[in-house]
Structure 1
């Protein structure tokens, strides 16, 4: 598929949290091809050595969460006049093709009058079986569309890392929800974008290496991505919060209602710290039911 030529330099946002030298180098590479904004959520840090002078560095001096950091980065790009924003974790490794094709596709669709809010690559995590499928919400299960071929795939959800936002729709859809802090931030934004009449498009011929969570665990013959107990707090809390919202599709809610009990079973079979994983998940469940959001 022809992507045309990008008529404007794309922007990028990278969120730092205790970055190492490799993270700084990745941001510097992004600055060579994009208008790069680094938002630093590292507590008590207001300067990072080694960043390219072209990087716009925004220190928060505290962990304000992924949603707030992305919002800050996008707002800076809007002030810079950018119309697209590539979003990355600090360990994301996009190719040059990735940086060129996704903004160019958005520009092409914008010119054609297509309402596309976000476009994203397929992501490859060898620990979990390789390239992940794109997903569509269906009652009690996620329909998976293999990331194959050279045709864009309409989807119901794209993960933040590696995705490219159409900033022309930012004022209509609104920013990421700060109070979710970390988990389901991207999903909630995608749901709002679709409700506003925009498409979410996966690009199967662009892949990005991306590790989903920490070291996976194998339970009952299956491999699952694993997070820290604190992340499991946010996962349960935010899932319950979103299940209670009228604008969130029932198809997604039904899937989560099926998954939550199984997650608790998996946490109870963890090789280490199983009690902590279960306790934090139950705490998140309780806070979600009480409507408590924001930072733990």
Structure 2
């Protein structure tokens, strides 16, 4: 039996309905963990109107994405599932996504992921191979090996949100697992509410410095705090391993500059960034 897990928090109901309708024909059941949504009753009503294959659980509060993902994986494992397809609430699976991902599942593969197509930024897959190693797949669309999830130790709930998937991917690599991206399988996804800034921004692409139009993430000040805090924490905790594996995460300096140049509410974001820097040290020292 195949299963999909979705985490919800104040979802846009139309987007969530499209998500449900896309994945329901592909799996035996859909598990939803709600992180204390204000529109929880509407989510329940929507699920009931669509299918009895949708099962919803909640504790009535937001304990973070990592906590929700662990609950979904644990629930699937209790039902003797070997894998779970994890989706964000605003993602939309392509046709036959599950069956096309499961073909590449083996015991030493932690995650089989699709290529991500953000609804605001076009992606060209014409020159990509059918399958390639993906060191740091994002959570949404990831077909997650539950035996591997258990061996890796689950998602780190200290992070709450942001870089939860990256931190998990790093530990998967440290445990000897690999992950693949299947470029013929496309997941429509929205990362924040990306919009062009109108300003050019230098970046490194294939070893060359190129000038590309920048984008605002559309993330809240709340998210800015967790993005910077967790980036600092992960780089500090796994720095030597990342260097040995030649994995480059975004530098904190680049993230801060990009945030301050392209995103509004700069004063609030500066405060969030300063708090994130301070709290990242506390987080690392505690663990």
Same fold (TM over 0.5): yes
Quick check: 2:22–2:92 contact (8 Å CA) kept in 1? no
Which residue among 215, 224, 227 is the counterpart of 1:224? 215
Q: Structure 1 residue 50 and structure 2 residue 49: aligned?
A: no
Q: Structure 1 residue 120 and structure 2 residue 113: aligned?
A: yes
CA shift, 1:209, in A, is 1.3
Quick check: 2:114–2:187 contact (8 Å CA) kept in 1? yes
Quick check: 1:232–1:280 contact (8 Å CA) kept in 2? yes
Counterparts in 2 of 1:266 and 1:25: CA distance versus 1, 3 Å: closer
1:89-109 deviations in whole A, cap 9, x for unaligned? Answer: 111110232121112321xx3
Matching residue of 1:188 = 167
1:96-136 deviations in whole A, cap 9, x for unaligned? Answer: 32121112321xx34xxxx111010111125334258xxxx
Counterparts in 2 of 1:286 and 1:269: CA distance versus 1, 3 Å: same
Quick check: 1:236–1:282 contact (8 Å CA) kept in 2? no
Q: TM-score, normalised by structure 2?
A: 0.83
Q: TM-score, normalised by structure 1?
A: 0.80
Q: Structure 1 residue 153 and structure 2 residue 132: aligned?
A: yes
What's the secondary structure of 2:45's corresponding residue? coil
What's the secondary structure of 1:249's corresponding residue? helix
Q: What is the CA–CA distance in structure 2 between the aligned matches of 1:72 and 1:101, rounded to whole Å?
A: 25
Q: Structure 1 residue 171 and structure 2 residue 150: aligned?
A: yes
Q: What is the CA–CA distance in structure 2 between the aligned matches of 1:283 and 1:232, rounded to whole Å?
A: 10
Counterparts in 2 of 1:128 and 1:248: CA distance versus 1, 3 Å: farther
What's the secondary structure of 1:72's corresponding residue? helix
Quick check: 1:10–1:103 contact (8 Å CA) kept in 2? no
What's the secondary structure of 1:49's corresponding residue? helix
- Where does structure 2 lack aligned partners over 5 or more consecutive residues? 201-212
> Which moved further from structure 2: 274-283 or 217-226?
217-226
Counterparts in 2 of 1:95 and 1:78: CA distance versus 1, 3 Å: same
Q: What is the CA–CA distance in structure 1 between the aligned matches of 2:163 and 2:61, rounded to whole Å?
A: 21
Counterparts in 2 of 1:204 and 1:44: CA distance versus 1, 3 Å: closer
CA shift, 1:168, in A, is 2.2
Counterparts in 2 of 1:14 and 1:147: CA distance versus 1, 3 Å: farther
Quick check: 1:242–1:248 contact (8 Å CA) kept in 2? no
Quick check: 1:46–1:60 contact (8 Å CA) kept in 2? no
1:231-279 deviations in whole A, cap 9, x for unaligned? Answer: 11001111111122147423689844x6322222233234631111222
1:194-247 deviations in whole A, cap 9, x for unaligned? Answer: 111111111111111112222334264122351211111001111111122147
Quick check: 2:197–2:215 contact (8 Å CA) kept in 1? yes
Counterparts in 2 of 1:88 and 1:237: CA distance versus 1, 3 Å: same
CA RMSD of aligned residues (A): 2.7
